[in-house]
Homo-oligomer: A and B are copies of this chain.
Amino acid sequence: MPRCLCGCVPSLVRRGLLATGLAAAAFPARAQISADPALVDDIVTANRILYDQGVVDGFGHISARHDKDPGRYLLSRSMAPALVTAGDIMEFDLDSNPIDARGRAPYLERFIHGALYEARPDVNSVVHSHAEETLAFGITGTPLPPVIHLARAIGPTVPVWDIAEKFGDNTDLLVTNAEHGRDLAARLGQASVALMRGHGFAAVGAAIPDVVRLSVYLPVNARVLTTAMRFGEFKALAPGELSGRSGFDPGSASYWRAWEYWARRAGVGERLGEMP
């Protein structure tokens, strides 16, 4: 939400304007959830980061797999990512049924998350975004290979999922049931990100910072590629450049440096908790 570091979120809370402030009162916070409170905090931080980095606006979401029960995941109730606080994080089973809704309305498209956790045991965090830079690729089928090292997590191929292929031309393009979600998961296969035609993308990662980084640099990669295609022949990252350990891998100073920077830019002061 903050565009600068001038304490935006705190000032809003101070002015009593935020529904989330009210929500925190109405819905007792993370203590009521069986997941690690640090994981809940990380999801909140990730929401703020994705907003501050322009990956989500009023729409889009990020979830994490439950740290104690791989058959569940954690996701905010239906609200803009910039406004999410710990008390807004809900728990779902992999069919995307809320465990203890307490009146909170879930995202209509939570099925994206449930289906991807179900299909991919290696995945612990999922992002859904409408990031504008990727949309032209999705509606034209233009390949979107990684061409910059910060986007190596894109992997060798980015499949495009078109809801119309299986569900016809009369949908509103939204992933509103488990069938939609599973069809998307099938198209994703073992890839890291799938474009959703006319809609956005779904990305997965082994941990929250991985999928956040992928979501931040996927649009950058798309912009660079869009320009490079105009110039003519371009060199994408080689297969060997996509694999193997990197100075940007978990545990490296660079890995934490980016997260710390993003969190502070977004006005969130808390440290990243331990990831599952």
Which residues of A pack against B, CB within 8 Å?
Answer: 1-12, 15-19, 57-59, 78-80, 82-83, 105, 107-109, 130, 132, 135-137, 139-140, 142, 147-150, 152, 162, 164, 168-174, 176, 197-199, 220, 223-241, 244-248, 252-254, 257-258, 260-262, 264-265, 269
Contacts and interface: CB of A to CB of B under 8 A. Distances in A.
Main secondary structure of the interface of A (DSSP, over half): loop
Q: List the number of copies, as a whole number.
A: 4
22 contacts: A1-B265, A2-B5, A3-B4, A58-B257, A59-B254, A80-B257, A80-B261, A82-B261, A132-B223, A135-B147, A136-B227, A136-B231, A139-B147, A139-B235, A147-B198, A148-B198, A149-B174, A162-B235, A169-B238, A170-B238, A176-B247, A229-B231
B224 A135 contact: yes
A169 B236 CA distance: 11
A253 B79 CA distance: 8
Contacts of A150: 59, 130
Most chain B CB atoms below 10 A, which of A18, A109, A152, A172: A172
B148 A135 contact: yes
Nearest to A260: B19
Contact of A257 (B78, B142, B220, B253): B78
Contacts of A258: 58-59, 80
A172 B246 contact: yes
Contact of A7 (B15, B169, B174): B15
A17 B108 contact: no
A244 B135 contact: no
Most chain B CB atoms below 10 A, which of A169, A225, A253: A253
A183 B223 CA distance: 29
Contacts of A262: 58
A98 to B, nearest CB: 13
A83 B57 CA distance: 24
